[in-house]
Amino acid sequence: MAGSRSLSSGLSALQPEAFGADPSGERMARIRRSPHFADGVFQNPGGEARIRPSGSALDLAKAFFDKDTRPRRAPSGPVPVHATTLADLARPPATGLRLTWMGHSSVLAEIDGHRVLFDPVWGERCSPFPFAGPKRLHPAPLPLAALGPVDVVVISHDHYDHLDLPTVKALAGTDTLFAVPLGVGAHLEHWGVSADRLRELDWHEATRIGGLTLTATPARHFCGRGLRNSQHTLWASWSVAGDEHRIFHSGDTGYFDGFKDIGAEHGPFDATMIQIGAYSDLWPKNHTGSGPLPGAWPDIHMNPSQGVQSHLDLQQGRPGGVMLPIHWGTFNLSLHPWAEPGEWTLAAADAVGQPVAVPVPGQPFEPAGNLPTRPWWRDVSRPLNREWPVPEITPEVSRDDLDLVGEG
């Protein structure tokens, strides 16, 4: 037994620091008490989510190396980036709410006098290794140190493209607080964030930070950073409510009926940040066949049509607020064309009359002001000529309703 413990300790010492740490002690005891933890793992709403590709290894290899489609999975030139300056962010938003998409799922939200930073990833690769793994397709719009003080950093889950070791270590040297799903605090403490700066929440739990109420809401995904995926850290979407405004960040998730419940309890929202990239027909399928859209789609990521539908659900079935598409454009994480999420989102949103903002990375905008709507990706992408599947208008939202929204 002593030899076994010695081997285990030796293997742990060889693990990259980016693997983080498994929950233990009182944190693990709290996880076991969670109503969403059963049979040794966190459970998804709506039943088990398949997290492995449904195609064979040969299918994946053929799709990955296909000479006709592979060039479309990357931009054809430098991705435009707004050189965000301190002046951009120093002036308070005139309307009380401003969003700055930094690329992928990283968003700075300035809401009712507070600053919230969602899923900050400033690292060069979303990987445990500095020499391998998906590399950024564009630089961060500004250095992390130039961002200025942040009241709270919100993490959706512990995958590398959402929880970034070098970024967390840099933020650990500030006095910002961290709001994270249950179990994720083990990683942050391992990397130098003190326990008193952590607000670690289960689904439906809330914390008050300054004048904001942050609520961890359900999502349909999975977790894990190391070689052994223990499913002992939770994944979440987030509702943030200030005195005047409400916003929502989806994190990573497959489509599920829970968006309607989240909208009923916490919405409607002035703006939503919705995951619309890194989907594939070869990714895990919704084995129940349920959902608002025809065909089988991923369990753990939404395509743009599902993303728009989730926004409508959050807004209680009606177009409203502003949708900011996230989780695309910065890292090549799937097999779809690089520009497809942008094109498909515009088509899906237009079909139901939903306002959508598509800023270049780093471009601040106010949801109640002039929205950035120019499809900038077309400057550096090959044309995509296809008819995009779009959400169907539900019975609660008639075409007459949409016409009235458009006239308003």
Per-residue pLDDT in tens (0 to 9) along the chain, 408 residues? 444 444 444 445 557 899 999 999 999 999 999 999 998 999 998 766 655 545 544 554 455 545 566 566 689 999 999 988 878 888 999 999 999 999 999 999 999 999 999 999 999 999 999 898 899 999 999 999 999 999 999 999 999 999 999 999 999 999 999 999 999 999 999 999 999 999 999 999 999 999 999 999 999 998 888 765 566 899 999 999 999 999 999 999 999 999 999 999 999 999 999 999 988 665 443 333 333 333 333 578 899 999 999 999 999 998 999 999 999 999 998 888 999 999 999 999 999 999 999 999 999 999 999 999 999 999 999 888 788 888 865 545 444 444 443 333
Confidence at residue 343, expressed as pLDDT on a 0 to 100 scale: 95
Residue 381's CB is within 10 A of a number of other CB atoms, namely: 21
Confidence at residue 84, expressed as pLDDT on a 0 to 100 scale: 85
Confidence at residue 279, expressed as pLDDT on a 0 to 100 scale: 84
Residue 183's CB is within 10 A of a number of other CB atoms, namely: 27
Quote the CA–CA distance of 162 and 178 in Å, as a whole number: 13
Read off the pTM. 0.87
Confidence at residue 294, expressed as pLDDT on a 0 to 100 scale: 31
- Residue 293: which residues within 8 A CB-CB, separation 6 or more? 255, 305, 306, 309, 389, 391, 392
Tell me the sheet residues that pair with 384.
Answer: none
Confidence at residue 399, expressed as pLDDT on a 0 to 100 scale: 40
User: Which residue matches tokens 């968003």?
Assistant: 107
User: Which residue matches tokens 């500004």?
Assistant: 142
Both structure tokens of 319: 């177009």
C-alpha distances in Å from residue 41, one per residue of 27, 81, 235: 14, 40, 12
Q: Are 41 and 232 in contact (CB under 8 A)?
A: yes
Both structure tokens of 366: 């106010």
Confidence at residue 289, expressed as pLDDT on a 0 to 100 scale: 30
